[in-house]
Amino acid sequence: MGVTRAREASNPSDQMKTSNLLAACPDARGIAVAPGRVNLLGEHVDYNDGPVLPAAIDRSVQLAFTPRSDRRVRLRALDLGEEASFFLDGLEDKTDTDGQPLPAWALYPAGVAWALQGAGYTVAGMEGAFTSDIPIGAGLSSSAALELAFAVAWRELGGWQASPMELALLCQRAENRYVGVNCGLMDQFASAHGVEGHALYFDTRTLEWRPIPLPKGTVIIIADSGVRRSLSSSAYNERRNACEQAVKLLRRNLPTIRALRDVTPEQFEALASTLPEVVRKRARHVVEECARVERAVVCLQAGDVAAFGQLMFAGHASLRDLYEVSTPELDALVEIAGGLPGCHGARLTGAGFGGCTVNLVAEELAENFIGKLKAGYREATGREAQVYLCRASRAAHVEPR
């Protein structure tokens, strides 16, 4: 389906964005579309080798692109009103064509080009313009979506084959090694593998995955608290170190474990008293959260939306009380949501300390839910929440002209 036909059924703002993209890149060969993601369950378990349950969402980065005959990439970030240009040779310098440091946003496409070329793929010069309707800094993986948009665009221009998992791994490498952000693989994985109407069960150790149908008649509603994530590197490292310490201590009785994902809830309960209090709390969250993801898959496959929703609420309580990464604003959103008709489950999503909550809501009551959640949050906190109705969407792809 071409760009025009694909967008005809969309809302006017989608059509306006497409028009703006094509005005900025009139000779576009296509538009790369890469979704953001929301994590339904499995928080802070990726660096413990645990399973996660994200879903790609129908908020995305859209990149209009066309090839150049030289080794130059010239880009326009329409939302920022900025431009950047760099050469595909000498990317290690992280400079533009005038020898100046690349702006922060341009490090992402430059990093993807760097990673692709390092893996032996041909990367063409490009004229491009991009826009996004993924809120920045809200924990919905706007950076991973940006990376995947460029990856699938360069795959299209180069005519080479690479699996979605390989693209996800290369985009993660770009963010880790080029941009300098120590992210896990879940964000890039979800953007590269999204399936309409499905969550994605992903084992972060084995990289095995499968789509899990979401309950019919439900929608995903994301509520942005308006508090930007403030999880400092020291707070993140403290939690990661606590998990590593727990593994070392538990190995005295469980010598074969490699990570907390290898510890069952029953084993943990028997040995919990051997751990210092803070380490015990952090580790309990991870062990129980891994178990919640496995139970959630069973619930979804059985169509038991009520049980799945209770796992979401339990996950939030654990993040609040054991991992201690929630905020009063996030707690308020979850508490308000839990009292509204049609809400099956709610919890914070992402690293915490700000950002968003995710809610699974009956579609027929979604409009009422959104209105009452916004009003209740305003009354409770004096803040305004941006609330988005989303659906699980398809993976990063190119829509041809």
Q: What pLDDT, in 10s, does the model give residues 166-192?
A: 999 999 999 999 998 878 899 999 999
The pLDDT of residue 228 is: 79
pLDDT at 6 over 50: no
- Rounded to an integer, the average pLDDT of 343-368 is 95
pLDDT at 339 over 70: yes
Q: Does this model's pTM top 0.85?
A: yes
The pLDDT of residue 229 is: 67
The pLDDT of residue 353 is: 87
Comparing 266 with 134, which gets the higher pLDDT?
266
Share of the chain above pLDDT 90, in %: 87
The pLDDT of residue 294 is: 98
The pLDDT of residue 184 is: 84
Q: What pLDDT, in 10s, does the model give residues 126-155?
A: 999 999 998 877 778 889 999 999 999 999
pLDDT at 230 over 80: no
- Rounded to an integer, the average pLDDT of 15-33 is 89
* Distant-in-sequence, close-in-space partners of 9: CB < 8 Å, separation ≥ 6: none
**SS (HEC) of the chain:** CCHHHHHHCCCHHHHHHHHHHHHHCCCCCEEEEEEEEEEEECCCCHHHCCEEEEEEEEEEEEEEEEECCCCEEEEEECCCCEEEEEECCCHHHCECCCCCECCHHHHHHHHHHHHHHHCCCCCCCEEEEEEECCCCCCCCCHHHHHHHHHHHHHHHHHCCCCCHHHHHHHHHHHHHHHHCCCCCCHHHHHHHHCCCCEEEEEECCCCCEEEEECCCCEEEEEEECCCCCCCCHHHHHHHHHHHHHHHHHHCCCCCCCCCHHHCCHHHHHHHHHHCCHHHHHHHHHHHHHHHHHHHHHHHHHHCCHHHHHHHHHHHHHHHHHCCCCCCHHHHHHHHHHHCCCCEEEEEEECCCCCCEEEEEEEHHHHHHHHHHHHHHHHHHHCCCCEEEEECECCCCEEEEC
pLDDT at 4 over 50: no
The single residue of 46, 58, 96, 187 carrying the catalytic annotation is: 187
Which of these, 71, 67, 66, 78, lies nearest to 105 by C-alpha position? 78
Mean pLDDT of the chain: 93
Pick the range with the lowest mean pLDDT from 1-5, 122-126, 396-400. Answer: 1-5
The pLDDT of residue 181 is: 84
- Rounded to an integer, the average pLDDT of 304-313 is 98
The pLDDT of residue 19 is: 84
pLDDT at 2 over 90: no
The pLDDT of residue 8 is: 33
Q: Is 187 a catalytic residue?
A: yes
Which of these, 36, 60, 62, 59, lies nearest to 128 by C-alpha position? 62
Split at pLDDT 50, 70, 90, the class of 232 is low
- Rounded to an integer, the average pLDDT of 109-114 is 98
- Rounded to an integer, the average pLDDT of 34-45 is 96
Share of the chain above pLDDT 70, in %: 95
The pLDDT of residue 135 is: 80
The pLDDT of residue 234 is: 72
- Name all domains of the chain by residue range, CATH numbers in brackets: 3-39+51-213+393-400 (3.30.230.10)
The pLDDT of residue 139 is: 73
Split at pLDDT 50, 70, 90, the class of 211 is very high
pLDDT at 11 over 60: no
The pLDDT of residue 16 is: 73
- Rounded to an integer, the average pLDDT of 215-241 is 85
Residue with tokens 């654990």: 318
pLDDT at 237 over 90: no
